[in-house]
Amino acid sequence: MQQITLSQTLPHVFRDLTDLRSEVWLSQQTFRRGEYYLIEATSGAGKSSLCSYIYGWRGDYSGTISFDDRDIRGLDAEAWGEIRRSSLSFLFQDMRLFEELTAWENVKLKNDLTKHKEEKELRHYFDLLGIADKLDTPARILSLGQQQRVAAIRSLCQPFDFLLLDEPISHLDEANATCLASLFGEEAKRQEAGIITTSVGKHLPLSYTSIIHL
């Protein structure tokens, strides 16, 4: 996948608004592979909705979203499965870890499916992000910041053309945010991938191609 294009896209919940000001909604916006985008938003502006639309989890919008000029509304379950395996990786705002599994099991479960990373590299990520001592801790008793770091590592356990990050550092301090930005940037560069990240305040410290106001 080389680009994602939104054309006159608008969440149904916003269709009666008369004072909408956005560089995304009811506009033409293209995200290109290899480039980094920061989507700045206020609470309630639809950033998580946008991520869910691009990932194909929700369709409550008008207008079109296209992958390389193909309207995503025409994709079937098999096509979406392939896209989510090889073209789109998504770090959810609410992490969506399996609470009964340990931090390591949450990451390994995905990597066992993709065979994308060596275990020693994943363990190195845990060490860099200061959670090497949490490998065997059930996700349900990790702090939100620890959960966010585990979910971030999991998002790197697959090939992707675009890395979709919904408020990826909302629970992290500056040091961990900087470390995570480095990991995301290195992996995106290796895969020649694009990054689309949302923020309502704390920005993932990357060199962005474009900053877009939702």
Model confidence pTM above 0.85: yes
- Domain membership of residue 151 as a residue range: 3-213
- CATH code assigned at 92: 3.40.50.300
136-168 burial by CB neighbour count: b if 16+ within 10 A, else e?
eebbeebeebbbbbbbbbbbbbbebbbbbbbbb
The residues facing 9 across adjacent strands are: none
Q: What angle do CA 210, 87, 89 make, to 5 degrees?
A: 70
The pLDDT tens digits along the chain (214 residues) read 999 999 999 999 999 988 888 999 999 999 999 999 999 999 889 999 999 999 999 999 999 999 999 999 999 999 999 999 999 999 999 999 999 999 999 999 999 999 999 999 999 999 999 999 999 999 999 999 999 999 999 999 999 999 999 999 999 999 999 999 999 999 999 999 999 999 998 899 999 999 999 9
Q: How many domains does the chain have?
A: 1
